[in-house]
Amino acid sequence: MIVEDTNSIAVLVAATLRRAGLCVDVAKTAKEAMTHFVASTEGPISYDLLLVDLNLPDGDGAELLAKMASFDVCPPSFVVSADGSDHARERARVAGASQFFEKPFNLSVLKDAIEDAVSKTAQSEAGRASKKFAAAERGLIDNYLKYLAGLASDLECPLSHKKMSSLLHQLKGSANLYGFNRLSDLTTSLGMRLVEQGTNSTNDIREILRQELLIDIASRSKFASCNAFAAV
């Protein structure tokens, strides 16, 4: 099960794992994840792995893992987070996570780690599913470009310091996964600048981000979808 509130990240990771022949559930909140988890412990099929974001809209990912660990049967868990500090890593370890992936993470490395942790039952099914999910992945990329276009339009209006910080946090991970490496690096840099310069820098950062989004959208040829999936 993937527990991730950033939809663009969740759908891409889920599609990649399904392409590899794995069955995947997705939850966007701690409450939804706990509901799925309890149901899995009571049903005939339980989860083989939990992939949990530390920062969820209704709770803390480490606390969620600790609750799940209190059950008689709890699968291995990985943690993902934009906070790569030693403190965050220690919290994940104490909660029982065996691996920690800092956003933006390498999708291929994550997939390989998950496959190592999960006993696959049908290698041949992954090959047959490949063509089916290739089309779905192209659709995900098109949808992400539409999302960026809408975001560029929304950025014409002022944002609060808090909302700008949250937006940069989300783009840092999702842009990298969809192949927009330059945009991912930019949002990381802008996020640091926002922290260092404070509220007064919000409008300048908003305009920089808007302009850079327009450049990436207008230069779709620079976004090679194969870069996002070739190693998968």
**pLDDT for the residue 91:** 94
Model confidence over 35-66: pLDDT tens digits? 999 998 887 778 889 999 999 999 999 999 99
CB 145 within 8 A of CB 20: no
Separation of alpha carbons 219 and 152, rounded Å: 14
**Is residue 228 over pLDDT 60?**
no
- The DSSP secondary structure of 178-208, one letter per residue, reads TT-HHHHHHHHHHHHHHHHH-GGGHHHHHHH
**pLDDT for the residue 126:** 44
**Is residue 231 over pLDDT 70?**
no
Taking CA atoms, 85 is separated from 52, 77, 88, 91, 101, in Å, by 17, 19, 5, 10, 11
Residues sharing a CB contact under 8 Å with residue 38, sequence separation 6 or more, in sequence order: none
Cβ-count burial of 64 within 10 angstroms (0-12 exposed, 13-18 middle, 19+ buried)?
buried
Model confidence over 93-123: pLDDT tens digits? 999 999 999 999 999 999 999 998 886 433 4
Antiparallel, parallel or unpaired: β 77-81 and 26-27: unpaired
Separation of alpha carbons 150 and 34, rounded Å: 32
φ and ψ at 96, to 5 degrees? 110, 0
* CB neighbours of residue 69 within 10 Å: 12
